Amino acid sequence: MWYLMINDFQGKVGEIVSGGVYRFEKGNIVVDLLGKAEGILLKREQSPKDDFKQGQRIRAFVAEVKKETRGPQIILSRTHPNFVKKLFELEVPEIYEGIVEIKSIARQAGERTKIAVWSKNEKVDSVGACVGMRGNRVRNIVNELQGEKIDIVRYNEDIREYIKAALSPAEVSEIKLDKEKLKAEVIVNDDQLSLAIGKHGQNVRLASRLIGWELDIRTKDTSAKKQELADKINEAQEAAAEAEVEVVEEDSLVQLDGVGDKIIESLKESGIKNVEDILNAGIDGLTKIKGIGEKKAEKIIKQAKKLKS
């Protein structure tokens, strides 16, 4: 008997089932699935807004069917993002019929869901279809989720427009993209910053999950200061690098054993600034410099090779 039950409910994994609250076990809810079986809604799979009583009707998403020694265990969920997706499929005929497609969904159960939709038919407005006349369709879903907020976002292949829609209700002023790293710096006016970020970062976090990009929200003033600081850091790094090269070049001549200051000065005047220049000049080149004979040139080259090694 229970083998038939497993087969029946394994075919329902990923679907929504209805039942009645049968009993409570340590925060978990045991659901009577219309007399056919019992499902369990674990505490972690319950939305923070859920508040059910014994005998009350309940709808949930079938997340998994486990084979246990005592019989099958049907794991239910009301926090899974696909629970909301399936509710839209049930409520919106255009989605069920394949005219409107759900492209992506991001959810923080009990708080907010963002869902991106797209219409395959230019005559059908994807967002309008999901909202319904006077908001009836989306209101039914919100009621099922005990008041969880739902943002219906219009999907767009233009990533800039998609980001703007995903961050709604905030208004975006400018977007700087890093397509290789899938990162975007989003510039907003000061009065839009709190809206863009959302309570405890909720709005930007869900928008980021929805589109699959990392979003960095900044005001115009902050962005300008960030760029100015980056420019200063680059200038300082370049200056430090140049200074280091100059120090290395001059110090390398000073490190030549047995070579006095006058000879070093003569080398510099002749355009020889480091050991590399000495080795390139060779004996012939060094002996052309005033004050350097053949033996002195050989000694300088010997010292230069030691420094080079």
Spatial separation of the C-alpha atoms in residues 280 and 298, rounded to whole Å: 13
186: left (phi over 0), alpha (psi -120 to 50) or beta: beta
If one looks up domain 2-79 in CATH, what number appears?
Answer: 2.40.50.140
Quick check: 248 pLDDT over 50? no
Residues recorded for the chain: 309
Pick the CATH number of 81-155 from 3.30.300.20, 1.10.3720.10, 3.50.50.60, 1.10.1060.10: 3.30.300.20
pLDDT of the residue at 181: 93
- Classified by CATH at the fold level, domain 156-251 comes out as GMP Synthetase; Chain A, domain 3 (3.30.300)
Confidence of residue 299 (pLDDT cuts 50, 70, 90): confident
Kindly report, as residue ranges, where domains of CATH 2.40.50.140 are found in the chain: 2-79
CA 139/CA 146 separation, integer angstroms: 10
Confidence band, pLDDT 50/70/90 cuts, at residue 117: very high
What is residue 292's predicted lDDT score, i.e. its pLDDT? 82
Tokens encoding 276? 């590399």
> Which of helix, strand or coil describes residue 74?
strand
For residue 115, the 8-state DSSP code is E
In single-letter form, the type of residue at position 139 comes to R
Q: Where in the chain is the domain with CATH 1.10.150.20?
A: 255-309
What percent of the chain lies above the pLDDT cut of 90?
57
Q: In degrees rounded to 5, what are phi and psi of residue 149?
A: -75, 145
What is the chain's mean pLDDT, rounded?
85
Which residue in this structure is represented by tokens 């991001």? 106
Question: pTM, whole model, 2 decimals?
Answer: 0.69
Q: Which residues of 186-196 are buried (b: 16+ CB within 10 A; e: fewer)?
A: bbbeeebeebb
For 209-223, write each residue's pLDDT tens digit: 999 999 999 887 665
Q: Which architecture does CATH list for 255-309?
A: Orthogonal Bundle (1.10)
Residue span(s) of the chain under CATH 3.30.300.20 come to 81-155, 156-251
